[in-house]
Structure 1
Amino acid sequence: MVYVSEMYTTPPTTFGSELEELTYETLTKLAIPFYQVATGEALTMKDCSAIDDRLGIEVVKTIFLCNQKKTKFYLYITPADFKFITKDFGKKLAIPRVSFASAELLKERLGVIPGAATIFGLLNDPEHEIQLVFDRSVAQREWYGCSSGSVTNYMKLKTADLFETFLPYTGHKPVLID
């Protein structure tokens, strides 16, 4: 089982990535409260079960996708146990089939390594080239749990704060699907 620290309401003192540091700077700037935990490397949804227990929520699954030409990008937020099928995703959005973006694209576009995809990667998308897509059930939750931009720090914050403060700040408009 992966190590999980106590919960804190302040940013960590060291950061696992530039994005993680930017995430906490932005949350502080926007006065969005959060709870965060330091962890051992959590690379899979199974690794996140101890994190879920400590935070008292379910960490979401965040999937970064692209079209075949690698010209259109999608950040898909789903429940942790969601079985993702690319064909179904494309049908729901009325788009051609998509595939998982490479580790290189993940780093280039979101600023993270595999296992650390997060909504906060949108801070690295000022041109709004990434379409944010939420599973409606996640958007309706009181709390939102995710990576802060590394595989060694996770957080929870109010979902309403994401939709009412963070996303207007980044300028990304989410599409909700069932």
Structure 2
Amino acid sequence: MLFVSEVMKTVPDNYKSLLQEMVYETLTKLKISFERVNTDEAISMEDCIEINQKLDMKMVKTLLLCNRKKTEFYLFITTANKPFKSKDFSNALGISRVSLAPAEQMEKILGVKIGAATVFGVLMDKKNLVQVVFDKDVLLEEWYGCSDGTTTGYMKVKTKEIVHNFLPYTNHIPTVIEMENSEK
């Protein structure tokens, strides 16, 4: 059973990474409220079930994708229950096939390790190398559940705050696509 702390509405007492510190400083600066929990290391979507229950929301699935040459990057945010299909993603954007970006690229560009990919990683993307892409279904949810840039800190924020306040602040205007909900 995964340890999940009680819900908190304050910033952590100390930070585990530069990105985590930047996340809370930015949310405070933009006056975006959040609820958060500390956990044992959670990497898979299955690990997030107990976090979802504690925070009363649904965690998003966040993937860093790239083209074959590793020159174009996409931070794809979808619902936890949808399988990722590269062909469908590429067709929706009208781009050539993509795959998961290597772990070292994710650390270099977003400042996170595998399991901690988060929309907040764009705070590290000062060169705007990453195109943020939302699955339309994520935007239908009131709450946005994600990592705070670590694999032991998770939070919920109003989805509209992420889209209308946070992303414009980072100069990352998202693209919205529609992905199929079930395997065919």
Task: State TM-score, norm by structure 2.
Answer: 0.95
Q: Residues of 2 paired with 1:30 and 1:59: CA distance? A: 22
Percent sequence identity is 51
Partner of 1:31: 31
Specify the SS of the correspondent of 1:22.
helix
Partner of 1:120: 120
Specify the SS of the correspondent of 1:44.
coil
Q: Residues of 1 paired with 2:73 and 2:100: CA distance? A: 10
- Partner deviation per Cα, 1:50-102 (whole Å, 9 max, x = no partner): 00000000110000000000000000000011100111110110000001001
- Partner deviation per Cα, 1:106-141 (whole Å, 9 max, x = no partner): 100000000000000000112211000000010121
Q: Tell me if the contact between 1:16 and 1:152 (Cα under 8 Å) persists in the aligned partners.
A: no
Specify the SS of the correspondent of 2:107.
helix
Q: Residues of 1 paired with 2:36 and 2:125: CA distance? A: 24
Matches within 5 A, 1:135-154: 135-154=135-154
Shift of residue 15 of structure 1?
Answer: 2.0
Partner of 1:163: 163
Q: Residues of 2 paired with 1:140 and 1:122: CA distance? A: 22
Shift of residue 13 of structure 1?
Answer: 1.0
Q: Residues of 2 paired with 1:153 and 1:170: CA distance? A: 21
- Partner deviation per Cα, 1:7-63 (whole Å, 9 max, x = no partner): 111011122221111100110011100001000000100000000000000110000
In the alignment, structure 1 segments of 5+ residues that lack a partner are none
Q: Residues of 1 paired with 2:143 and 2:30: CA distance? A: 17
Shift of residue 159 of structure 1?
Answer: 0.7
Matches within 5 A, 1:8-157: 8-157=8-157
Letter in 2 for 1:136: K
Cα-Cα RMSD: 0.7
In the alignment, structure 2 segments of 5+ residues that lack a partner are 179-184
Q: Residues of 2 paired with 1:43 and 1:168: CA distance? A: 28
Which range is displaced more, 124-133 or 62-71? 124-133
Question: Which runs of 4 or more aligned residues in structure 1 lie more than 4 Å from their structure 2 counterparts after TM superposition?
Answer: none
Q: Residues of 2 paired with 1:103 and 1:2: CA distance? A: 24
Which range is displaced more, 6-15 or 66-75? 6-15
* Aligned pairs, number: 178
